[in-house]
Amino acid sequence: MPSQQEPTRIIVRVRPGARKNEVLGFLEDVLRVKIAAPPVEGKANRELIVFLSEVLGIRKSDITIEKGETAKRKVVGIIGVTQSQIMERVAARSAARAPKLL
């Protein structure tokens, strides 16, 4: 049965063809993400959904690209988490990957 919950929408700026998948964090309310997959035949979009599901700890089926299928800037709908939960989980992921200062 499909969920009737209204999705939380975020703007994601995707940089496809990167060396590895990586969350760069939020900048001016836009989530910046590097995706290893090339922007060919929807590969980067599929990889974005898989990667966001891992980062946010939710199912892939709860994430949809609502606008920007062929653009670097996308509107992504996410069911099951709030805007603040998304920001917390992204911040934790970004901090975990940040270089350690001596």
pLDDT at 27 over 80: yes
Residue type, 55: V
Q: Which fold has domain 12-97?
A: Conserved Hypothetical Protein Mth637; Chain: A; (3.30.1200)
For the entire predicted model, the pTM comes to 0.88
Residue 34, token pair as written in the block: 């590097």
pLDDT digits (tens, 9 = 90+) for 54-102: 999 999 999 999 999 999 999 999 999 999 999 999 998 876 665 555 5
Which residues does residue 9 pair with via DSSP β-bridges, in sequence order? 77
Q: What is the rounded CA–CA span in Å between residue 37 and residue 62?
A: 21
